[in-house]
A and B are shown apart, each in its own frame.
Chain A
């Protein structure tokens, strides 16, 4: 039933589908490790998608589009940072407001571009390698966002666990009071982490509007920002688990479509729910194993220096 050609195409699709989620959740992971829960991922993504598309359409350059998307994500994340980090407001409410604001701004920015299209980011082609059976397209036939997401992941994984900056960031997330007592600028570090989250979310949005489905339509992120948030929990705040989680999500969402196409008679509603069932199962497993309940101790708690 699954011949080599289909299998290769499925694997390539899984990696591509997982990339949006990986990018968005990677940024959120860093923000959360610094102790800020930013529920604005969906909003920052959709603003990135809109601004990235508008810029690429106007300038004809996908690279400028991607850069603009990153900057747009950072700008919106600063709105959240001012509220949640500096004014110490409730992080959940501020994050939700960021998402709602982002959806509105994106719709406004994108409205002149409805019905237009771009030539999306090209896919890598290396003669010989890309044509390898089964794994060729998956490994050597993706767009630049895919490779960039893996580089970022490696950077974050290394940075968090092996560098001094990563150690400080984690300290700020685990115990902001102690970090503050040691003289670390807690709010400054949290702001930088939130900005990194915004940059990654913006890039994830750009992946959608510049590569995956290269056009603009309002709300085109369709809830992927929320899945990214769930993935961070799923990964127990560990970058390598995040990679596994994102690819698992990608796999389930692509495979369920193929299962239907083959007419196996599994109810499609159940298949559509599978990624979410997988999240719940993983959460239960993580908590049952008593391992990796790795939520930073200071997550979601506003920090005010003079307390």
Chain B
């Protein structure tokens, strides 16, 4: 019995040694890990992050080796997955959902020599950076286009969860719409899910049945676009270019382009210049990209392009004053603009939105 045991120990030790030997022999390669909230096949949020990962592989070729773990629930599971990625030898780890914030920080504390990048969070450490995109810049343009395109004067909005990112998106769209048509209405349906294609389609149909003729979404699947196409109304895509799903319906899409950031950060690690940073990039940096403006008259397209250029060169801020809230109080004065911090914690609607934020 003892003999068998000691043999087993010897074998196990052999495996461990072999395991330890592998990274040493491939020491040149930088191993990069990605943690995803959804499946890479969602054609939305996670899909776009994975496109960024592929761009890193393409850019650096043999110098890097990437791994990803998909469908990782937020919470204790995430901590375990991140820790495993560290132990597998990954030196740079991207955690791509808000709920990975605490798990990322916990693991980062234990492994100070590994660099972590957490998407959409606000807590940093010496080896933890945060990054996010200014999607609301794109939504301001959507609002303008919707106001020009809609015949019923009502834009439908499929919303996921009442968190600041979603609320600031609704507000940006409304401010854009009001800059064209002050009487523009928005109908909001909360589906309480990021990804449920059938429910998103149901929501789109409900909004269309109730008179919305332009559909906007803050959920991840192309179901709403497809429903809009089938019903002959217009829609905006989300995360990816969804023109394939709505060749006659899509006006444009807000595309999440993480590739520039992922390449930049990988390069920083390779060069040894990585520092903990807080990055909130937008259209200017190519992180928020508008899909081609389609299915609209030339004057609307020209307006959209002009607004896009103005946002890029900084002459237009989507949350520039004056902005009043639903109660009619002036929140942002003429000539001022909402600070990044205030946008990131937005929990109020602008005037003209006929809805209540759930839970308030």
Contacts and interface: CB of A to CB of B under 8 A. Distances in A.
Contacts of A260: 188-190
A120 B226 CA distance: 10
A6 B39 contact: no
Contacts of B359: 267, 269
B203 interface: yes
Contacts of B205: 9, 13
A213 B223 contact: yes
Interface string B192-203: 110111111111
B170 to A, nearest CB: 13
Interface stretch (B59-67, B107-115, B295-303, B350-358): B350-358
A114 interface: yes
A220 B196 CA distance: 6
A145 to B, nearest CB: 13
B358 A20 contact: no
Contact of A222 (B47, B71, B193): B193
Interface in B209-224: 209-210, 221-223
Contacts of B201: 212-213
A213 B192 CA distance: 19
Nearest to A108: B41
A262 to B, nearest CB: 7
Contacts of B356: 265
B55 interface: no
A215 B222 contact: yes
Given A114-B47, A117-B222, A208 B197 contact: yes
A13 B41 contact: no
The interface centre, meaning the residue of A9, A117, A216, A217 with most chain B CB atoms within 10 A of its CB, is A217
Contact of A253 (B188, B202, B207, B209): B202
The interface centre, meaning the residue of B39, B230, B354 with most chain A CB atoms within 10 A of its CB, is B39
B263 interface: no
Nearest to B244: A117
Interface residues of A, number: 41
B199 A217 contact: no
Interface in B237-294: 240, 244-245
Interface in A244-299: 253-254, 257-258, 260-263, 265, 267-269, 272
A260 B159 CA distance: 11
Given A107-B39, A217-B42, A212 B198 contact: yes
A212 B244 CA distance: 17
Contact of A258 (B193, B206, B221, B226): B206
A110 B189 contact: no
A220 B226 CA distance: 15
B273 to A, nearest CB: 35
B91 interface: no
B41 A110 contact: yes
A9 B71 CA distance: 35
B210 A258 contact: yes
A44 interface: no
B199 A253 contact: yes
Interface in A10-47: 10, 13, 17, 20
B81 interface: no
B117 to A, nearest CB: 24
Nearest to B41: A218
B189 A257 contact: yes
Contacts of A5: 209
A300 interface: no
B43 interface: yes
Contact of A17 (B42, B47, B198, B358): B198
B209 A10 contact: yes
A215 B40 CA distance: 15
A116 interface: yes
B192 A115 contact: no
A268 B226 contact: no
Contacts of B187: 261, 263
B155 to A, nearest CB: 12
B41 A117 contact: no
The interface centre, meaning the residue of B41, B192, B195 with most chain A CB atoms within 10 A of its CB, is B41
Contacts of B39: 107, 217-219
Nearest to A117: B245
A218 B43 CA distance: 9
The interface centre, meaning the residue of A5, A219, A272 with most chain B CB atoms within 10 A of its CB, is A219
A190 interface: no
A12 B180 CA distance: 36
B41 A107 contact: yes
A220 B222 CA distance: 11
A213 B43 contact: no
A260 B205 CA distance: 13
Contact of A261 (B189, B222, B223): B189
Given A117-B245, A253-B202, A260-B188, A9 B209 contact: yes
Contact of B202 (A13, A116, A218, A269): A13
A254 B192 contact: no
Interface in B148-192: 156, 187-192
Interface string A203-216: 00000100011111
B43 A115 contact: yes
15 contacts: A5-B209, A13-B202, A114-B41, A114-B42, A115-B43, A115-B47, A115-B240, A217-B43, A219-B38, A219-B42, A222-B195, A254-B202, A257-B202, A260-B189, A260-B190
Given A120-B230, A263-B355, 13 more contacts: A20-B198, A114-B41, A117-B226, A218-B39, A220-B221, A222-B193, A222-B198, A223-B196, A258-B206, A258-B210, A261-B189, A263-B354, A269-B192
Interface of A: 5-6, 9-10, 13, 17, 20, 107, 110-111, 114-117, 120, 208, 212-220, 222-224, 253-254, 257-258, 260-263, 265, 267-269, 272
